[in-house]
Amino acid sequence: MKKIFAEHKGKLILSSLVTLLPALVGRAWISAGLLAAHWLVLLIVFSDRRNRENQSRQAVGMIFWVMPFVSLLMGGVAVMIEQGVSSAGALSSLMALGFGLMFLLLGNYMPKLRQNSFMGIRVKWTLENEANWNATHRFGGKVWVAGGFACMAGALLPADAMGVFFLAVLLVIVALPIAYSYYYGKKQPAADKIPLPPVPPSQRIAARVLVAAVLVIAVWTLLMGSAEVQCGADSFTVEASGWEDLTVPYSEIAAVEYLPAEDVPETGMRTYGLGNLRVSFGYFSNEAYGSYIRYTYDSCKDCVRLTRTDGSTILLNGPDQPATRAICDALAQRMGADRPET
């Protein structure tokens, strides 16, 4: 392990620095998370001796740049939002073009992958036969390149259709190579198939630890997030955990309105933000408000609507109705307005 990292020291340092670039536009949490994922992927991939000793140099080089590419894409979205581009169409188009390009590049490198336990199309039929592995990855490479072009073409679709189209493309480029491997394996004589070697105990333990860690992170991600509105002299700040804070001067707010649950429109599509079982933070788009910002708890259906001087909307609430009413009262008082009727 030390040898492979020493050999690729330059790539490791440069790719880590590129992954940290979104921190320059205030997205330190994105950079930190992706950097941790970057290192974890590298550690997992190179824990397989075949990847350290017998993997193609092109494939090894590629694995260093997947997370930095995703980080740059997320940073690009952040820059667009900082520049005032928050429409669902523009942001979705950038994501479609970015992921399309990534699928295209991965498809180009896929035929160069040699058999291993962590990268590529790792199903029973490819792992037990090298000819099946090679044929499946040649076919899969073509499918992923086609999927990449399809994703980039999908950038021309309406924003509400783009997400469904992307998921459909992703399903096809994953399912087709697996089906091809199964069909190819059925045609092979049994004598050509090599029984899979037993997994060493140390790898079984590592796999279980990894699965447990992924499950813990997944559950935490579904339940994380909190927000608190702090009113200052000239502006208020939504201090959020799990997402970036939001600061808005009172001079940019034209109206404060308390919305009971029945008057709150559907959330719509999240274009850039955090959404789970607990909270919805970030940039969203729906028919009622167009592109808007929300920092809301799912446990409370009432909201405070802030209409900005440019006509855009911010939705806020607390974890319950009393907390939401308190937010409305505090903001209305700071703006010198009476509490809106509820």
- pLDDT number for residue 84: 63
Instruction: Record the tokens describing residue 94, joined without a space.
Output: 């950038």
Rounded distance, CA 229 to CA 327, Å?
Answer: 7
Mean pLDDT of 112-136: 87
Query: Could you tell me whether strands 253-259 and 269-275 are parallel, antiparallel, or unpaired per DSSP bridges?
Result: unpaired
Phi and psi at residue 297, to the nearest 5°:
-90, 140
What stretch of H or E contains 75? Answer: helix 66-82
Rounded distance, CA 88 to CA 235, Å?
Answer: 27
Maximum pairwise Cα distance, the chain = 84
Residue 47 has pLDDT above 50, yes or no: yes
- In tens, the pLDDT along 170-210 reads 999 999 999 999 999 888 766 556 665 666 676 667 667 77
Distances (CA, A) of 249 to 6, 83, 239: 50, 17, 15
| Whole-structure pTM value | 0.68
β-sheet with 279-286: strand ranges across:
253-259, 303-308, 313-316, 290-297, 279-286, 269-275
Stretch among 97-101, 192-196, 287-291, 306-310 having the lowest mean pLDDT: 192-196
Mean pLDDT of 284-298: 91
Tell the CATH topology of 226-334.
PH-domain like (2.30.29)
Among the listed residues 300, 294, 318, 321, the one whose alpha carbon sits nearest the alpha carbon of residue 227: 318
Rounded distance, CA 118 to CA 321, Å?
Answer: 48
- pLDDT number for residue 7: 78
Q: Give start-end residues of each CATH 2.30.29 domain in the chain.
A: 226-334
Residue 339 has pLDDT above 50, yes or no: no
- pLDDT number for residue 148: 95
Phi and psi at residue 128, to the nearest 5°:
-95, -5
pLDDT band at 108 (very low <50, low <70, confident <90, very high): very high
Stretch among 29-38, 227-236, 245-254, 294-303 having the lowest mean pLDDT: 29-38
pLDDT band at 36 (very low <50, low <70, confident <90, very high): confident
Rounded distance, CA 58 to CA 54, Å?
Answer: 12
Distances (CA, A) of 82 to 25, 60, 78, 262: 8, 35, 6, 32
Mean pLDDT of 259-264: 95
Rounded distance, CA 126 to CA 220, Å?
Answer: 34
Distances (CA, A) of 134 to 39, 125, 187, 188: 28, 11, 15, 14
Phi and psi at residue 311, to the nearest 5°:
95, -10
Q: What is the mean pLDDT of the chain?
A: 85
Q: Return the axis-axis angle of helices 159-187 and 130-153, rounded to nearest 10°.
A: 160
Instruction: Record the tokens describing residue 294, joined without a space.
Output: 């929300």
pLDDT band at 338 (very low <50, low <70, confident <90, very high): very low
- Three-class SS state of 231: strand
